[in-house]
Structure 1
Amino acid sequence: MRLIRLLFCVLLGSPAMAQPAQNLILVTLDGVRWQEIFNGADSTLLFDPVFSRDTAGAHKQFWAATPTERRKRLTPFIWNTIGQQGQLYGNRQLGSRVNVSNPHWFSYPGYNEILTGYADDRIKSNDKIDNPNVTVLEFLNKQPGFAGKVSVFSSWDVIEAAVNEKKTGIYASSANEPTQPRTATDSLLSDITALYPRENGDGVRADFLTYFSARQYMKQNQPRVLFLSFDETDDLAHAGRYLDHLRMLQSIDGYLADLWKMIQKMPQYAGKTAILVTTDHGRGHTPKARWKDHGTKTADSYQIWMVTMGTGISATGEQKNGPVFFQNQIAATLAQLLGFDFKADHPVGKPIDTIVGANR
């Protein structure tokens, strides 16, 4: 299908057709609100000692006079790089809306919707049950040149069920499962993973270990598709630790900056890669303590966001107005960025035209 579209474009001489990306990175940040992405730190939480144990330190690290300054302070890579080179969706203050379409507004239903393009009501808990649906990762793993080149690194062990590692054979490194070291760096990462305190239990790996494990794998194996799923932002929010939540979000933004910088030096990836970053669900906001929660009993936690840049994506920046986009459109959008039409034996949301328009 991708070859046919390219030949069609060449024959017609269409100037709008862009070369699809050759590689793709999908990143999820669990339970991060659009409010922090677009406005930075929330003063009602940042300066409340119930939620921020060090309000003076919080002010110094995250506060600034305007939302534009605050968001750049919180997530500088998103705003200084993606904001200049890509597209950002979900600032409802500007009329840009992104919603989940599943009726549950919590994690596994959200990850299923992201990955399959289908809000399947059978996925209605966070139980670690293998996903019965075809994910875009499984679809891509069956395409020529992609077999064995799709990989997953996640902090939460349920993600390996969401991608159905058992059925698909996709490499999925999740939580604190042991690995077989090949190098001294692998051995060090394995030892740290085994010995590092597991604050959130055996089912959750520290996000910094997930990142550095993924980075090492990319250096060694150069996968064409990487799904990188972080978790601690949600755990810290549920615990009511707003300052720590912001620090974790800022750290992950730094991981993404480091990853993007690294792949610009690798011929496999430089100038050939697209990245899309999003979240599985939103959070509450009124009254402020509802920030800790999400789900159908928490108003507006269906509201999400996404940011994207790279090969095939025009640099139109922060989006305004336009139609409502849905989480179930992400899977087909990811496939389209690589030049494929994602089809499955279940409904799939259509690609987001403003992201993939040049690749169609």
Structure 2
Amino acid sequence: MKTQFFLILFMMVQLFGAQTKKTKNIVLISIDGYRWHEMFKGADPTLLQNKKYRQQDSAYVYKKFWAETESELRKKLMPFLWNVISKQGQLYGNRDLGSLVNVKNKYWFSFPGRSETVTGYCDDKINSNSYPNNPNENVLEFLNKQKGYEDKVATIASWDAVSKIVNRDRNHMLVINPFEKATGKNLTESQKLANEIQNYIPNDFGQSARWDVGTYAIAKTYIAANHPKVTYIDFADTDDLAHAGKYDSYLDAAHYMDSMIGNLWTAMQEDPFYKDNTTFIICPDHGRGLGSQWTSHGTSVEHSSETWLVAIGPDTPPSGEMKNTSQIYQDQIAQTIATLLGFTFKANHPVGEPVKSVFGK
């Protein structure tokens, strides 16, 4: 009899816990190829001193990013991350503290990494950045089918391959790719301006990529006007600038990325629709090499499978910088997102387990 009582009590606790999650909205932010080293250590002094990787005046660069300690370095580079998220959320991936995050795929570059993130699945057949439409179902389209989330899922991307990664041809969800515009009969003036200014930013990387400031402007104004419940924002400047060998500009990109994320978080917390019920999940799609290999990634570049994960929201304990955690893989992010919203993501393929510590388990 006691066994039955405790079994019923356990089931009630589990059910009550599942019903009391506060997260109703998700913002997934991908930062292409951003290393955990800068996240947790700040500017790399060796790369900062190397004239080969610096285009700007050295005194100007040092004033912006240099400090005497690692703690000061990282806070100077990413103040929102270290002044707000580190106190209110969780940061995984500082390998010096025994927190390991990796992609599970064996390729260590963009299409496979982003696919692994949104599908929760490592598919060895996805082995090219030119891969056609992703055959694997993703958590975005799964959520788009759930009651209350229909047509409330949006993707705004700085890289044009994202439309294939999420396969909008199959699911017909909203994706705003580089140089595409937010559309509709009742666009706000802010949305119209965001649509327009993306065409006035120097197009250094061709038609396949839009500078992140353009993507941010479209995303922020779309969120304010339409209140999507799930938003995937895909940023790419860090990877493009790293491949170009511009370390100072790579740091600039990380710094303004931090500011954009902070401003978006603040704006959404000031909006009654999102206040205290929204979780941000932030991650890269792959890492990159060390020393002279910092510009590159892929299986030939050691350390470029190493990534990181950030979470902040009402269900995430404010544990800050995580230490001595279990190994986390990129394929766990999709199910983590679904679980935060009270769902179990099921697809036409296996799905990784959620990162339970993100929601206090």
TM-score by length of 2: 0.93
Quote the residue 1:282 is aligned against. Answer: 287
Structure 2 counterparts to residues 1-360 of structure 1, below 5 A: 11-12=12-13, 18-53=20-55, 54-127=57-130, 129-180=132-183, 182-285=187-290, 288-358=291-361
CA distance in 2: counterparts of 1:178 and 1:72, whole angstroms: 35
Decide whether the 8 Å contact of 2:182 with 2:218 is kept in 1. Answer: no
Quote the residue 2:3 is aligned against. Answer: none
CA distance in 2: counterparts of 1:154 and 1:186, whole angstroms: 16
Q: Secondary structure at the match of 2:154?
A: strand
Decide whether the 8 Å contact of 1:32 with 1:279 is kept in 2. Answer: yes
Decide whether the 8 Å contact of 1:20 with 1:339 is kept in 2. Answer: no
Q: Secondary structure at the match of 1:315?
A: coil
Give the superposition deviation at 1:183: 3.2
Over residues 268-292 of structure 1, what are the superposed CA-to-partner deviations in whole Å (9 max), with x where a residue is unaligned? 100000111000000000xx11000
CA distance in 1: counterparts of 2:11 and 2:348, whole angstroms: 32
Q: Secondary structure at the match of 1:304?
A: coil
Decide whether the 8 Å contact of 2:182 with 2:222 is kept in 1. Answer: no
CA distance in 1: counterparts of 2:231 and 2:102, whole angstroms: 24
Residue 21 of structure 2 aligns to which amino acid in structure 1? Q
TM-score by length of 1: 0.93
Identity percentage over the alignment?
42
Give the superposition deviation at 1:128: 5.1
Decide whether the 8 Å contact of 1:48 with 1:55 is kept in 2. Answer: no
Give the superposition deviation at 1:194: 2.7
Q: Secondary structure at the match of 1:69?
A: helix
Give the superposition deviation at 1:143: 0.5
Decide whether the 8 Å contact of 2:101 with 2:330 is kept in 1. Answer: yes
How many residues in Structure 1 have an aligned counterpart in Structure 2? 350
CA distance in 1: counterparts of 2:133 and 2:22, whole angstroms: 31
Over residues 248-276 of structure 1, what are the superposed CA-to-partner deviations in whole Å (9 max), with x where a residue is unaligned? 11001000110011011111100000111
Q: CA RMSD in A?
A: 1.8
Decide whether the 8 Å contact of 2:317 with 2:360 is kept in 1. Answer: no
Residue 166 of structure 1 aligns to which amino acid in structure 2? D
Which segment is superposed worse, 266-275 or 47-56?
A: 47-56
Residue 33 of structure 2 aligns to which amino acid in structure 1? G
Residue 27 of structure 1 aligns to which amino acid in structure 2? I
Decide whether the 8 Å contact of 2:121 with 2:350 is kept in 1. Answer: yes
CA distance in 2: counterparts of 1:299 and 1:337, whole angstroms: 33
Q: Secondary structure at the match of 1:303?
A: coil
Give the superposition deviation at 1:15: 8.4
Residue 80 of structure 1 aligns to which amino acid in structure 2? N
Over residues 173-194 of structure 1, what are the superposed CA-to-partner deviations in whole Å (9 max), with x where a residue is unaligned? 0111244362332332222223
Decide whether the 8 Å contact of 1:47 with 1:58 is kept in 2. Answer: no
Which segment is superposed worse, 36-45 or 11-20?
A: 11-20
CA distance in 2: counterparts of 1:186 and 1:57, whole angstroms: 34
Residue 21 of structure 1 aligns to which amino acid in structure 2? T
Decide whether the 8 Å contact of 1:154 with 1:229 is kept in 2. Answer: yes
